[in-house]
Amino acid sequence: MAAAVETASHIRAARRGSIRGSRRKALFWSYFFLVLFVVIFLAPPFYMLITSLKSSGEISAQVNPWWVFHPTLENYLGLLTEPNFVTFFRNSAVVSLCVVAISMLISVPAAFALARMKFWGSATLATGVFLTYLIPESLLFIPFFRIFAFLRDITGIEFLNHWWVLIIVYPTLSVPFCTWILISYFASIPKELDEAALIDGAGYIQMLTKIFIPVALPGIIAATIFAFTVAWADFLYPLAFTTSADQLVLPVGIVTTLIKGDVYNWGQIMAGSLICAAPPLIIYAFLMDYYIAGLTAGATKG
Amino acid sequence: MAQVTLRSLVKRFDRTEAVRGIDLDIADTEFVVLVGPSGCGKSTTLRMIAGLEDASAGEILIGGELVNDLPPKDRDIAMVFQNYALYPHMTVFENMSFGLRLKKFPKAEIKERVEQAARILDITELLQRKPRQLSGGQRQRVAMGRAIVRHPKVFLFDEPLSNLDAKLRVQMRTEIKKVHQKVNTTTVYVTHDQVEAMTLADRVVVMNAGRIEQVGPPNELYHSPRTKFVAGFIGSPAMNFIPCRLEESGGGGLTVRVGDGLVLPVPSGRTASYRAHLGKELILGLRPEHITEAHPHAEPGTAEFAVPVDVVEPMGMETMLYFAMSGTQICARVSPETPASPGATVNLLADLRHMHLIDPTTNQVIEVPVASRGNAQPSADATALRRGVG
Amino acid sequence: MAEAVMSGVRAPAARRSSLRAIARRKPMIAFMMALPLILLILLLVVYPALYSIHLATLNRSMKRFVGFGNFLFLFKRDTFWMVVKQSVIFACTAVFFKTLIGIFLANFVHTIPTKGQRKWRGMLMVSWVIPTAISSITWFWLFDPSYSAFNWLLAKFFGTAPIPWLGEPLWARFCVILVNIWAGTPFFMIMYLAALKSVPEQLYEAAAIDGANWWQRLWYVTLPMMRNIISITVLFSLIVTFANFDIVRILTNGGPVDQTQIFATWAFQVGIQGNDIPLGASVSLFMFPILGVSAYFILRGVRRRSQEI
C-alpha cells in the first residue's frame, strides 16, 4: 500500500521489498534451512536405527552404510535374552521412578512454601535453590566418592557399587530445578485464589493439595519429566559409583559392557542405545509442550 | 444481625501507613460502598474485614463480635474478588460448594444451597461447566454464587466489576443490586468507580490517603460535599474549581470575583455563612450542569457572562463546552442545539444557587445550612444527579 | 499433620492471640515444608562442595594436610595447562555456535506458519532429548576409523581420503565440539523461540513499514528484545558445557594423549581411575571461578527479567 504513493521509478524496487514478497522469500529460506538442519540433527539417530537393524555381516560389508539391505531383529532379540541388559533396564527404571517420586515429594511442598509462605530466610533459600542447580555433578562426584567410602567405615553399609546409591545422589540434580520450575508456576497462580480458599476454610495443606497441585499440574508434569530425564540419562555418577555388571544402569551398561574388549558389536550397541533413547523420546513426543513451557518459565520468571 | 463496626482501624505496611484510623458503623443489611482513588486504602480496609490482612491497630467487629484475631474462615464472611478467583480446575458446582464441602456439610444440603443460589443468579445450566468455558459476566455470577451459598453474615466485594466491559458492567451492577435485595445481607463493596458507588450504595464512604473523607447517602455526597476531594471526586464531568475572591457588594450582599473581570453575586441566603471569609482567596466550586446557556428569563441567584469557547464536545443528549477562566479549564453543560463553535464567544449562565466555596488552606467546603442554600428544586436536582453520575 | 497441629493449638489458645499464633505457625509450617529441600541442599550439595575443598588440601593418601600443594603441583604440569586451554576452547566455541545456530533455527521456526511449528520444533529437539551418553556412542560409531559413515559419504561424493576423526588431536577437538553443539543447540532454540514469541508482533509490522529487511529486523528488533534471555541462556550453557563429561569421556576418553581432556574428564581420570582423590578434587575445583562468575551474572539477569515482566 505504501508503494502506491511512491513515484513510478520506485515501484519496482518497492514491489521487490513488498511485505508479501519478502514474506515468501523468508518462508522459502526458512524451510530450506529447517530441512537442512533437520537432516543434520536427525542423521545420528537415523544411523542408530539403521545399524540396529543390521546383521554383523552387513555392518562390516563395504556397502552404503546409510541403508539397511537385509533388516533383521536379531540384535534386539539378542539383547532381550541377555540377562545383563534386562538388569540394566530394570535398574534404570527403578532408579528413575524412585528419583521422580523423591523429587516431587521434596520439591512440591518446598516450592509451595517458597512461593507463597514467607518465612525467615525464604528469599535466600530460593536463591540458594537456583545456585544449587548451577553446581555441576562433575564438581561433586569426587567428594561423594570419598564420603561414601567414609560412611562405609562408620556404618558398615557399602554405598559404592550398588545401584540404589544413585537414588541418593540423583535428587541433587533433579530437585533444585524441579523446585525452581514449580516456584515460578506456583507464583503465577493468582494470589486471590489462595485467599478465596482461605475464606472457604481451607488450611495450608488443603490449599496445596486441592488448589495448587491441580492448578499447577502442567508445571508438575514438566518437573516430573525433568526429574525422569535426568535420572534416566545421567552418566557420570553411575560410571563413578557402580562397576559390577548387575549394578549398572542403561547408559553406562551399554557403553561399558556391550563393548567387549576391542570387539564392538555395533548392531547390539545401537539396538540397546535405541531402547535407552526410546522412553525419553516417547515422553517428549507426547508431553513436549508441557516441558517446554516449564523450561522457559523456569528460566525467564523467577 | 450482622452489623460491621470499625474502630480506629490502622494498617501499616513496613513504613507506609495504608489505612490511618478509620471509624465506621455499618448497619445490618446495609449496602456500603468504599470508594476512592487507587491507593486510598479502601481495598486494605476490606481485606482487614475479611481477615486477609492483619489490622495493625484498632478493632473490627462483625455482628458485635470482635474478630481481629479470627482467621478468615471463622469470620462468617464471603468475598467476591476482582478477577473472580474461581478455581480453574473445578466445575461451577464444585467451585460454589468448595467451602461447604470443606466444612463437611451433608451432600443434600450442599446441593440444595447451590441450586438455590444458582436459581437466584440464573446460572443453573452452567453448574457442570469449568470456569474457562464461561464468559466474563457468567464468571462474575459464579463468584457471587460461591459467596451466596455460604449464607454469610457479610458479603465483601473487591472491585468485582472492573474486569468487565462497559456494557456488561452496567448490567451486572443492576444484578448485584437485585441479588442484594433478594438475600438482604450486609454488604461492603469496594470500587474506584464513583458511578458504581452512587448507583449501588445505601451509603457511600469516600476515602482518600488512608482516611475517610465523608460518609453519607449518594445524594448527600453529591449535593453537600464536605471537602474539596469529595466535591471533585463525585460527579462526572468533575466539578469546576475556579480560584476566586469573596468581596462585599453594595447593600450587604456578597460577590465572588473570578479572575480579573467577572463578578458573580452570591445568593442572599448564603451570605451569613460566607461572611466570615470576606476578602479571602477561595475556590469556587460549580458543577458543569450549573453553567448553562444564558436564557432571557434569568432567575435570581444566577449570573450571565460571556466567554470564548475552546472546545465543543457533543455527547448526543447534551454538549460540553470547555473554556478557560483565570487559568483553569472550565466545563459547561449546554443543550445539544447550541450554536457554539470553537473560538466563538457564547453567553453562559452560572447558577450560583448550587455554588460551593472551598477554603484552600483547609480544603474544606464552607458549610451552608440546607435551608439557606436557595436551590429548592428537588426535581431538577434529581435529573441533574442522574446526568451527573451517568 | 500440620492440620492436627493447627486445631490442637487453637482450642486452648486465648482468642486475642490466635491470629498472632497463626502468624507464628505459618512460617513454621512453611519451614517444615521446605525442610527436606534444605537438608538435601546442605547435606548433599553444600557439604560435598565444601568437603571437596578440604580434600584438595590433602596428600594422596588423604592422611596429611598439604595446603596448596596440590594446586602448586598442578601449575607445574603441562597437562594441566593444556586441560585449561582445551576446556576454555571447548566451552567457548561450543556455546558460541550453539547460540548462533539456536538463534537462526528459532527464527526459521518462528517464520513458518504456526500450524507446522510444533512438528519442526519436535524434530529439531530429538538430539537434545536422547541421553548424551547414548548419542555420544552413536557419534563414536559414526566416527569409527574403519567404518565411518561420514568417510563413506565424503569418499562417495567428494572422493576425500578417510579422515581420522578421533585419531588426530585437531580432528578430535573438532569432533567433541561438534557433538556438543549438536546435542545442545535445541535447548538454545527452545529458549529463543519462547523469547521470540514474547516480542509483540506490532514491532515487526512497524519495522516492516519502516522498510527494514529480514536482517535488519533481526538485528534491530529481535536481538535487542531478546538480549536478556540470550545472556541468561549463554551463561547457563557456559556452566553446563564447561562441566561437560559424557561427550569427551565417550568419544575420546581425553585422547589422543590427553589432547581433548577437559576439567571433568581429567578430574575423573586423576581422581577415580588414578586413585588420587585430592588431586582430582583440586582439578574439579578449577571449575568454581567460571561457575561463580556465570552464576552471578545469570542471577542478575533473571532478577532483571522478572522485574521487566
CB contacts, 8 Å: C185 with chain A? 41
Q: Which candidate from A192, A193, A201 shows the least CB-CB separation from B99?
A: A201
Report residue B338 as a C-alpha cell: 447550541
Distance CA C307, CA A293 (A): 20
Q: Where are the domains of chain A?
A: 2-52, 74-300
Mean pLDDT, rounded, for A178-201: 89
What DSSP letter does each residue of A137-199 carry, written as one string?
HHHHHHHHHHHHHHHHHHH----TT-TTHHHHHHHHHHHHHHHHHHHHHHHHS-HHHHHHHHH
Closest B-chain CA to A215:
B89
pLDDT at B390: 38
Pairwise CB contact (< 8 Å): A192 & B83: yes
Q: How far is C16 from chain B (nearest CA, A)?
A: 6
- Which parts of chain C have pLDDT scores under 70? 1-24, 305-309
Mean pLDDT, rounded, for A166-178: 93
Q: Are strands B31-35 and B186-191 parallel, antiparallel or unpaired?
A: parallel
Best of C19, C20, C26 to disrupt the B interface (most B CBs within 10 Å) is C19
On whether any CB of chain B is under 8 Å from the CB of C3, the answer is no
Report residue A231 as a C-alpha cell: 535420572
Name the strand (E) or helix (H) holding A46.
helix A19-52
Pairwise CB contact (< 8 Å): B73 & A196: no
Per-residue confidence band for B280, with pLDDT thresholds at 50, 70 and 90:
confident
Pairwise CB contact (< 8 Å): B85 & A198: no
> Which residues 6+ apart lie within 8 Å of B208 measured at CB?
B36, B37, B40, B229, B233
Q: Which candidate from C55, C131, C240 shows the least CB-CB separation from A277?
A: C131
pLDDT digits (tens, 9 = 90+) for A61-89: 878 888 888 888 988 998 888 888 999 99
* Contact yes or no for C59/A146 (Cβ under 8 A): no
Closest C-chain CA to A230:
C131
pLDDT at A2: 42
* Contact yes or no for A234/A137 (Cβ under 8 A): yes
- C57-68 b/e with 16+ CB inside 10 Å = b? bbeeeeeeeeee
On whether any CB of chain C is under 8 Å from the CB of B69, the answer is yes
Does the pLDDT value for residue A11 go beyond 60?
no
Chain C 11-40, residues with CB within 8 Å of chain A CB atoms? 26-31, 33-34, 36-38, 40
Q: Which of B150-159, B194-203, C125-134, C297-306 has the lowest mean pLDDT?
A: C297-306
* Contact yes or no for B347/B246 (Cβ under 8 A): no
Helix intervals (H) in B122-157: 136-148
- Mean pLDDT across chain A, nearest whole number? 85
pLDDT at C159: 82
> Which residues 6+ apart lie within 8 Å of B2 measured at CB?
B28, B62, B63, B76, B153, B154, B185, B186
Does the pLDDT value for residue B380 go beyond 60?
no
Provide the number of CB pairs (under 8 Å) joining chain A to chain C.
309
Does the pLDDT value for residue B10 go beyond 90?
yes
Pairwise CB contact (< 8 Å): A198 & B78: no
CB contacts, 8 Å: C272 with chain A? 141-142, 145, 240
Mean pLDDT, rounded, for B263-280: 86
Q: How far is C200 from chain A (nearest CA, A)?
A: 17
On whether any CB of chain A is under 8 Å from the CB of C188, the answer is no
pLDDT at C6: 40
On whether any CB of chain A is under 8 Å from the CB of C153, the answer is yes
Pairwise CB contact (< 8 Å): B99 & A190: no
Residues pairing with A259 in the sheet: A264
Backbone angles phi and psi of B82, in degrees to 5? -60, -45
Q: Which candidate from A119, A131, A168 shows the least CB-CB separation from C30?
A: A119
Mean pLDDT, rounded, for A174-184: 90
**CA separation (Å) from B272 to A103, B111, B372, C126?**
80, 65, 9, 89
CB contacts, 8 Å: B85 with chain A? 190, 192-193, 195-196
CA-based nearest residue to C252, from C159, C165, C122, C131: C165
Pairwise CB contact (< 8 Å): B87 & A193: yes
On whether any CB of chain A is under 8 Å from the CB of B79, the answer is yes
Chain A 59-78, residues with CB within 8 Å of chain C CB atoms? 59-60, 64-66
Mean pLDDT, rounded, for B54-72: 91
Closest B-chain CA to A214:
B89
Per-residue confidence band for B113, with pLDDT thresholds at 50, 70 and 90:
very high
Pairwise CB contact (< 8 Å): C243 & A109: no
pLDDT at C222: 83
On whether any CB of chain A is under 8 Å from the CB of C3, the answer is yes
**CA separation (Å) from A182 to A211, A230, A294, A300, C236?**
14, 17, 8, 13, 19
- A74-300 folds as MetI-like fold (1.10.3720)
- Mean pLDDT across chain B, nearest whole number? 88
pLDDT at C8: 37
Q: How far is B37 from chain A (nearest CA, A)?
A: 21
Q: Which candidate from A17, A29, A204 shows the least CB-CB separation from C213?
A: A17
Does the pLDDT value for residue B152 go beyond 70?
yes
Closest A-chain CA to B72:
A199
On whether any CB of chain A is under 8 Å from the CB of C214, the answer is yes
On whether any CB of chain B is under 8 Å from the CB of A195, the answer is yes
Mean pLDDT, rounded, for B173-195: 91
Pairwise CB contact (< 8 Å): B70 & C23: no
Best of C107, C124, C138, C151 to disrupt the A interface (most A CBs within 10 Å) is C138
Closest C-chain CA to B69:
C19
pLDDT digits (tens, 9 = 90+) for A23-54: 788 888 899 999 999 999 999 999 999 999 98
Q: Which candidate from C107, C277, C306 shows the least CB-CB separation from A301?
A: C306
* Backbone angle region of B85, left / alpha / beta, with phi > 0 → left and psi within -120 to 50 → alpha: left
> Which residues 6+ apart lie within 8 Å of C10 measured at CB?
C18, C21
On whether any CB of chain A is under 8 Å from the CB of B91, the answer is no
Distance CA C222, CA C200 (A): 10
Per-residue confidence band for B375, with pLDDT thresholds at 50, 70 and 90:
low
Asked whether this complex has an ipTM greater than 0.95, the answer is: no
Q: How far is B273 from chain A (nearest CA, A)?
A: 50
Closest B-chain CA to C15:
B69
Mean pLDDT, rounded, for B229-244: 91
Give the other-Cβ count within 10 Å of A64's Cβ: 13
Pairwise CB contact (< 8 Å): C211 & A17: yes
Among A130-134, B328-332, C3-7, the range of highest mean pLDDT: B328-332
Sign for the CA dihedral angle at B57, B61, B64, B70 comes to negative
Q: Which of A158-167, A184-193, A259-268, C238-247 has the lowest mean pLDDT?
A: A259-268
CA-based nearest residue to A240, from C134, C280, C136: C280
CB contacts, 8 Å: B71 with chain C? 18-19, 22
Q: Which candidate from A132, A203, A270 shows the least CB-CB separation from C141?
A: A270
Mean pLDDT, rounded, for A133-139: 87
On whether any CB of chain B is under 8 Å from the CB of C9, the answer is no
Pairwise CB contact (< 8 Å): B54 & C15: no
Best of B47, B69, B103 to disrupt the C interface (most C CBs within 10 Å) is B69
Q: Which candidate from C101, C107, C149 shows the least CB-CB separation from A65?
A: C149
What DSSP letter does each residue of C29-65 carry, written as one string?
HHHHHHHHHHHHHIIIIIHHHHHHHHHTTB-TTS-SB
pLDDT at A96: 96
- Looking at per-residue pLDDT, the higher value among C299 and B363 belongs to B363
CB contacts, 8 Å: A281 with chain C? 126, 129-130
Q: Which candidate from C16, C17, C22 shows the least CB-CB separation from B71?
A: C22
Distance CA B205, CA B194 (A): 10
CB contacts, 8 Å: A193 with chain B? 85, 87
Per-residue confidence band for B379, with pLDDT thresholds at 50, 70 and 90:
very low
Per-residue confidence band for A224, with pLDDT thresholds at 50, 70 and 90:
very high
Chain C neighbours, 3+ Cβ pairs < 8 A: A, B
pLDDT digits (tens, 9 = 90+) for C3-37: 433 433 333 334 444 555 555 577 888 888 999 99
CB contacts, 8 Å: A198 with chain B? 51-52, 71-73
End-to-end CA distance of chain B: 34
pLDDT digits (tens, 9 = 90+) for A251-289: 999 888 776 666 678 888 999 999 999 999 999 988 888
Give me the torsion for CA of B115, B121, B127, B132, rounded to 10°. -160
Q: Which candidate from A40, A142, A147 shows the least CB-CB separation from C280?
A: A142
